[in-house]
Amino acid sequence: MHGLKNNATAALLSAFFSAGAMAQVPALNLDTAHITVSGLSSGGYMANQFHLAYSDWIDGAGILAAGPYYCAKGDISTALNQCVDKTEPAIDVNALTGKVKTLAQEGKLAPLSALQNDKVWLFHGTRDVRVNSAVSDALNAQYAALMPAEQITYVNSKPVAHLFPTKNNGGQCMSSDSPYIGRCDYDAAGEMLNFLLDGLQPASDKLSGEVVSFSQQALAGDNASTMAETGYAYIPASCREGEQCRVHVSFHGCNQYAEAVGKAYVEQTGLNNWADTNNMVVVYPQTRKSLFMPLNPQGCWDWWGYTGEDYATRSGEQINAVRDIVLGLSSN
């Protein structure tokens, strides 16, 4: 993966600086050789796609309320009938896993051998009526067919609605309302990160760092054309001061992009509190809604093909955009 980083970073940084978009972003010493990802709902689907596309780069994924890779098969009707609140007909996990293997053999995903040392943390709330439990069960089954079972954890017994559960941030835990973050007396961010990463320090009660903004288009060019102009990152004080920091990328869900909920997802999931004491920059890429082609009225990440048929592979526009954003934020 070093070739990927070296080939991309110089051009990206040049474009970024020339656009003046780094005004709020300090020079960062990021470990871009090893990253982790997470996401809720459509962001969970995106985290899964990003993980499988680049598992030779990504060390772990945390996925809340989402289904298996290629569930939608590039079709919005299939997505709605099988991969959200309904599974009609039932999801064929074996067929979807076969698709993963075929794409990996074709070089459109990372080699499956790269998954063998990764960790995956999955979550589905028992009060979630937006995403059927069978959908998340299928994701668990698919990962179990691709990597060692002991490196997967599946939390599916918590009374949580379709949202990102926290200890004490957000709205009611049993109701899936905007901004889809709930006070559930459950620290999903902490549970996830402590499974994905060894030796973490306890989360901070008072943040030392700050949320900064950056231009996604300046970093990622045309690949970010279906994304918002502005993305966000949480930078702890230690990272701002030059410490080498790891990277975690977190993908919001539908109707959870910044134009719809402000910085709620960026600031309230609890990820920043864990990042603050563990030399970790959290990147929050952003989508936008579109009422024209490509149609995306709820500002979802592309998990059914609105950006093109290669949406879930290494050639996917949004996957490439987020990769470029991560690399471009590093000053290495």
pLDDT tens column, 154-190: 999 999 999 999 999 999 999 999 999 999 999 999 9
Assess whether 162 carries a catalytic annotation. Answer: yes
Assess whether 128 carries a catalytic annotation. Answer: yes
Q: How confident is the model at residue 19 (pLDDT cuts 50, 70, 90)?
A: very low
Q: What is the mean pLDDT of the chain?
A: 93
Lowest mean pLDDT among 17-21, 110-114, 147-151, 233-237: 17-21
Assess whether 51 carries a catalytic annotation. Answer: no
Residues 114-119: what's their mean pLDDT? 97
Predicted pLDDT at 331 = 59
Predicted pLDDT at 20 = 40
Q: Is the pLDDT of residue 3 over 90?
A: no
Global pTM value: 0.92
Q: Which of 51, 59, 124, 128 is catalytic?
A: 128
Residues 10-30: what's their mean pLDDT? 56
Q: Is the pLDDT of residue 9 over 70?
A: no
Q: Which of 41, 213, 250, 330 is catalytic?
A: 41
Q: Three-state SS across the chain?
A: CHHHHHHHHHHHHHHHHHCCHHHHCCCCEEEEEEEEEEEECHHHHHHHHHHHHCCCCEEEEEEECCCCCCCCCCCHHHHHHHCCCCCCCCCCHHHHHHHHHHHHHCCCCCCHHHHCCCEEEEECCCCCCCCCHHHHHHHHHHHHHHCCHHHEEEECCCCCCCCEEECCCCEECCCCCCCCEEECCCCHHHHHHHHHCCCCCCCCCCCCCEEEEEEHHHHHHHHHCCECCEEEEEECHHHHCCCEEEEEEEECCCCCCHHHHCCHHHHHCCHHHHHHCCCEEEEECCECCECCCCCECCCCCCCCCCCCCCCCCCCCHHHHHHHHHHHHHCCC
Q: Which of 51, 124, 162, 252 is catalytic?
A: 162
Q: What percent of the chain has a predicted confidence (pLDDT) above 70?
A: 92
Q: Is the pLDDT of residue 279 over 80?
A: yes
Q: How confident is the model at residue 51 (pLDDT cuts 50, 70, 90)?
A: very high
Q: How confident is the model at residue 24 (pLDDT cuts 50, 70, 90)?
A: confident
